[in-house]
Amino acid sequence: MQIPQLNKYSLIFPHPEDANEDGILAWGGDLNPSRLIRAYQNGIFPWYNKGEPILWWSPDPRLIMELDDFKLSRSLKKSMKKFEYKFDTNFSQVIRRCGTINRKEQLGTWIQEDIIEAFEELHGMGLAHSIESYIDNKLVGGLYGIVVGKVFCGESMFADVSDASKAAYAILVKHLKIWGYDFIDCQVPTEHLKSLGAKEVARTYFLDRLYKVNIDKLEHSWEIIK
């Protein structure tokens, strides 16, 4: 199957169900905010290595976190007390730290400067957010992602201290439930997120859920609820 190239003058993507067996839907185009927003509204995300063209993905199966399914273990609940949490205080530092973490079975990082700049722009538009864990005012963990309607699309996380990213994730889940979000898009299956309660679903099911809620804009401030 030949992978189609995007027209840089058009924001139109192939249908997300037309991805190849690896989940690759298209290549090329750019990372301008309008294209990224259109991509995430259709369950599509960029993921590629340095030196490669931009690759756009729509994998099957998909991994999602139902907010009520998050597993808050007794040990994590205890560990969470050692952190202070903030939203959007150090977005740039969070995404850059996510780009430096060594991950199993992954050479290098896909969070390159063009990705960082694109998400910083989305952050400035109020669409991308970071959740941060601190100890003694020092950033020690966190995660970031983009909001699409009632869905939070998680991108990456990092931890310099044990449980720092999982604790930030727990805080995110708590707030998304209060604010009325539907679920978290975890993109591709990982054992780590499955251990926290995420589940694999068929791409068709995922897209149906996404399309039903991605046009509902929620009005709330990204502030920690005590």
- What is the structure's pLDDT at 108? 42
- The pLDDT tens digits of the residues spanning 75-114 come to 999 999 999 999 999 999 999 999 987 655 443 457 999 9
pLDDT at 209 over 90: yes
d(CA 42, CA 36): 10
- What is the structure's pLDDT at 214? 82
- Name, in order, each residue with C-beta under 8 angstroms of 141's C-beta and a sequence gap of 6 or more: 83, 132, 133, 157, 158, 159, 160, 161, 163, 164, 165, 167, 168
pTM of the model: 0.94
Region 18-38 average pLDDT = 96
d(CA 48, CA 87): 27
For the CA atoms of 5, 10, 11, 14, the dihedral, rounded to the nearest 10 degrees, stands at -40
- What is the structure's pLDDT at 87? 98
pLDDT at 1 over 60: yes
Question: In the chain, what are the domains?
Answer: 5-59 (3.30.70.3550), 63-213 (3.40.630.70)
d(CA 197, CA 170): 11
Written as one letter, the residue type at 156 is S
- The pLDDT tens digits of the residues spanning 112-146 come to 999 999 999 999 999 999 999 999 999 999 999 99
Looking at the chain, the whole-number percentage of residues with pLDDT higher than 90 is 86
Region 140-155 average pLDDT = 97
Region 153-178 average pLDDT = 97
- Name, in order, each residue with C-beta under 8 angstroms of 117's C-beta and a sequence gap of 6 or more: 31
Least Cα distance to 21 among 49, 61, 54 occurs for 61
- What is the structure's pLDDT at 107? 38
- What is the structure's pLDDT at 217? 81
Residue 96's SS3 state is: helix
Least confident of 25-39, 165-179, 207-221: 207-221
- What is the structure's pLDDT at 103? 52
Region 30-54 average pLDDT = 95
Angle formed by the axes of helices 91-98 and 113-124, nearest 10°:
150
